[in-house]
Amino acid sequence: MNGSPTLTIDSLPFSQPGRFYRGNLHGHSTNSDGLWTPAEYIRQYRQNGYDFVAITDHCMEHYGYTITDTREFRYDDFTTLIGAELHPWQIESGSPWHLLAVGLPLDFEILRAGDTGASVARRAMAAGAFLAATHPNWYAFTVTDFETLDAADAVECYNGAADAASDRGYSWHFIDMLLHRGHRVGAIAVDDVHASGDYSDFMRGWVHVKADTLTPEALLRALKAGHYYSSTGPQLHHVELLGREKVVVECSPAEQILLSGERAGALRISGWGLRGAEFDLSDVESRWLRVTVRDEAGQRAWTNPVWLG
Ligand SMILES: [Zn+2]
Ligand SMILES: [Zn+2]
């Protein structure tokens, strides 16, 4: 696979200039199957401590292939990225593709005759979008499906709607399989909010993006460069590789801090109210590493998988 972000240890967000902005990259309004109007969607996130959102309505025939225009909801302290969920036909399981494209131009051509997942993904990325494969665990999306793509920026490691509706929210197993096969992908946590079910898919998963300003352009650049981490609760304040010997982690109070790589065993520290950890890499053999922090409530924060070579 080509064109995915390098995601080396130097692409971790923590030493990049700027500050972290919290955002939800995936959700639906009344322009597809969501309950909230775009204005209500924005109001809910803006009032609850978010700095930006994308509204990514299903671009399907029966919703009129609409890309929701959120430009009127951009303020000094809150902004939006234009996005969509794209559904070319079809993945191995017989479902349509669910491709998340954030940073799309409003005049993006949704569907061309003969389109496949690969051709739509290629077009969205050529148009500048941050492209992610969504909720693999929810729709039985396979590694074979993924490998038909020639590029992708990320895969959803957590999807709030899939968790709330089907107990299929977590997809780290899928990402680990991609990593073992050498695919360099980022990991995003999202709500996929619909606000329409008998379950809550609001404020369950989000990203913290490190950018120098709160503008759509700066956020998109940072996403494409891998300058973000994902969370369902805890915060990562700092993660750094010192020399090639030690990984240092600083975080909000945690019960467990883990460093995972290709082997089954993770390096880990457990305790009450942990605020950080240091991991010695001298016995670690892995092409890539990722850090997980788990808090008392069982919520997690994750770095992107970063490659050492
Ligand atoms: Zn979907
Ligand atoms: Zn969705």
HSE (side-chain half, CA atoms, 13 Å) at 163: 21
Share of the chain above pLDDT 90, in %: 93
Question: Of 97, 152, 156, which is closest to residue 130 (Cα–Cα)?
Answer: 152
Report the separation in Å between the CA atom of 162 and the middle of ligand 1, taken as the mean of its atom positions. Answer: 9
- pLDDT of 240 above 50: yes
pLDDT above 80: residue 233: yes
Give the containing element (helix H, strand E) for 19.
strand 19-24
Q: Which two tokens stand for residue 102?
A: 């954030």
Where in the chain are the domains? Answer: 9-231, 236-307
CB-based contact 66:73 (threshold 8 Å): no
Q: Is residue 30 within 8 Å of residue 38, measured between CB atoms?
A: yes
For 145, the enclosing helix (H) or strand (E) is helix 143-146
Contact (Cβ atoms closer than 8 angstroms) between residue 74 and residue 48: no
CB atoms within 10 A of CB 291: 25
**Nearest of 308, 7, 300, 13 to residue 152 by alpha carbon:** 7
DSSP annotation of 218 reads H
Question: What does the alpha-carbon distance between residue 228 and residue 244 come to, in Å, rounded to a whole number?
Answer: 22
Confidence of residue 98 (pLDDT cuts 50, 70, 90): very high
Q: How confident is the model at residue 20 (pLDDT cuts 50, 70, 90)?
A: very high
Is residue 5 within 8 Å of residue 224, measured between CB atoms? yes
DSSP helix/strand/coil, 107: coil
Phi, psi of 121, rounded to the nearest 5 degrees: -60, -45
| pTM of the model as a whole | 0.97
Q: What is the pLDDT of residue 309?
A: 77
Summarize pLDDT for 164-208 with one digit per residue, the tens: 999 999 999 999 999 999 999 999 999 999 999 899 999 999 999
Query: Residues 108-115: what's their mean pLDDT?
Result: 94
How many whole angstroms from 57 Cα to the centroid of ligand 2? 7
Is the fold of 9-231 the same as that of 236-307? Answer: no
pLDDT in tens, 33-59: 999 999 999 999 999 999 999 999 999
Predicted local distance difference test score (pLDDT) of residue 3: 44
Question: From ligand 1's centre to the CA of 97, what distance in Å?
Answer: 8
- Residue 9's pLDDT band, with cuts at 50, 70 and 90, is confident
Q: How many CB atoms lie within 10 A of CB 83?
A: 27
- What confidence tier does 5 reach under pLDDT thresholds 50, 70, 90? low
- The third-level CATH classification (topology) of the domain covering 236-307 is Immunoglobulin-like (2.60.40)
For position 32, what pLDDT does the model report?
Answer: 98
* 190 CB-side CA count, 13 A: 29
Give the closest ligand to the alpha carbon of residue 25.
2
Q: What is the CATH number of domain 9-231?
A: 3.20.20.140
Beta-bridge mates of residue 155: 133, 187
Looking at all shown ligands, the one closest to residue 84's CA atom is: 2
Residues with CB under 5 A from ligand 2 (ion): 85, 192
Q: Comparing 4-8, 155-159, 263-267, 279-283, which segment has the lowest mean pLDDT?
A: 4-8
Indicate if the pLDDT at residue 22 is higher than 60: yes
Are 24 and 50 a contacting pair, CB within 8 Å?
A: yes
**In this model, does residue 243 exceed pLDDT 70?**
yes
Distance of CA 192 from the midpoint of ligand 2 (Å): 5
Residue 25 Cα to ligand 2 middle (Å): 10
Query: Residue 1: what pLDDT?
Result: 53
Burial (Cβ within 10 Å: 0-12, 13-18, ≥19) of residue 127: middle
